[in-house]
Structure 1
């Protein structure tokens, strides 16, 4: 006779609050110091909890990172998908520059607004990409590919003649530049001075968007 499974006991409100305190602190510290520069003791101190509670809820640092990345990944993906939907709805022109803009601008908009729920998350993930080679982090950071795939799919549909290797190289360079912009305090300061102005943000980002679009366009030309 098969033993009946015990019903799962839902986490208490206090336990969920503690988990969120730890994840909030982790997001701040990973954004500031990266993965290697953040310790469990740092996280516990900023969260205002005993280090034993950090171990109890998550076990180790890379599991904290996994939970911190999962927590807002859906929100980021939805934000990018909505950006593409709005760009397509604005009119018949939806070329490579509009595709690149639909991907990049939501990141810059979120990073420039202190009250945006994705601000710390985006800065955190940009810093974490520098630790991508660590074996325990690869499967965690690979989840961000669900966001990149939105950009990749739109470019594939718009310019199917671009060879896959060239396309992936172009996407890599776009993301590398975006990571640098998000990590650059001076660039973020310039954005934040007038962060309520979409026109100002577009003005600052437009040269980069044209540059990326032109580079992608050239990848489809005969060599």
Structure 2
């Protein structure tokens, strides 16, 4: 069964409704998936795909029929999906320029983030209204990035929050950090010598930096300001550097 999973290209991994995988006979009628299979990948009967329930389980499915409206398949193997870090990363990401924010979503998911919460900082530059269509686009970007990266759990893009509201979630994490260019403590120094962390919250600010009042409020909620080094990083780069550092340090 494991060998079957290794034979599936990342372009053939898809998160689907968990209910579709309850039996060994699978029927797909999602228009977007059918278009991807039939028109883009040009899959045919006999080809195999990996379907993920978004909660850590995977099924290798051999397509038995496909047309422009629906596809059917037979489950040939089930297994635990790989690609997930042992720690859950929640990223509270400042709203920045749309194209940079979307790029940050994509790369953060590739690096293992499970939950991305868009946050309005005092110095956030918000362009346009954040409606259900934009949220759906962000979730689609996250889903496609997770499929490409071989993730086993479906990352979540939450609804935007104010900075004050985001702070109230810090207590749920084993470690909560604020990426702060003015911090004098490096990220590596706040990690325990023998890490046993299971959930880390990362707060990452906007292009204009963190307002002093926000820094004070973060500290009052137990969030530690940390530096990533002497260089000034872009708002979309800093959280990715932090994620890479954390996973290296924690061996995840």
The structure that is strand-richer by fraction is 2
Name the structure, 1 or 2, with higher relative contact order (CA <8 Å, separation 6+). Answer: 1
TM-score norm. by structure 1 comes to 0.26
TM-score norm. by structure 2 comes to 0.24
